[in-house]
Amino acid sequence: MAVLDPGVVVRSDVGADGVGAPALVRGAEAVARQAMMFAPFARSSQPALVDGEPAVIATREGRRFAVMVFTVVRGKVAEMSVINDPAHLPGLDLTVLND
């Protein structure tokens, strides 16, 4: 919660299989609750940059299934985009950090 702006907004696409988080989540508490569903993937996640913005790549069984891109304003996460549509993942300008 400490890193989230109180008015943080998360936008997500829904994968081709129809599985995914809600398309829009607002507010630090709601975003923190939603983030908990990604907790099992924390150990296999990788820090990255997408178009120069900080991001995290979530993997499952060695395959990327979601990329979370963060917009940071005044030291707090103000916006996050979750990309989990397999059709969108290959087109990202993605730089994996600590690879």
**Residue pLDDT tens, the chain, 99 long:** 899 999 999 998 865 555 554 578 999 999 999 888 778 878 888 999 999 999 999 888 878 888 999 999 999 999 999 988 888 888 888 898 975
Taking the C-alpha atoms of residue 51 and residue 86, their distance in angstroms, rounded to an integer, is 18
Distance in angstroms (rounded) separating the CA atoms of residues 50 and 33: 24
Contact between residue 62 and residue 12 where contact means Cβ atoms under 8 Å apart? no
Helix and strand numbers (H, E) in the chain are 1, 7
DSSP annotation of 78 reads E
pLDDT reported for residue 20: 53
Question: Which ranges of the chain would DSSP assign to H, the alpha helix?
Answer: 28-35
The total of other beta-carbon atoms located within 10 Å of residue 13's CB is 16
With respect to CATH, is domain 4-96 assigned 3.10.450? yes
* Structure confidence at residue 37 (pLDDT): 79
In this prediction the pTM is: 0.81
Q: What single-letter DSSP state applies at residue 29?
A: H
DSSP character at residue 43: G
- Which pLDDT does position 7 carry in this prediction? 96
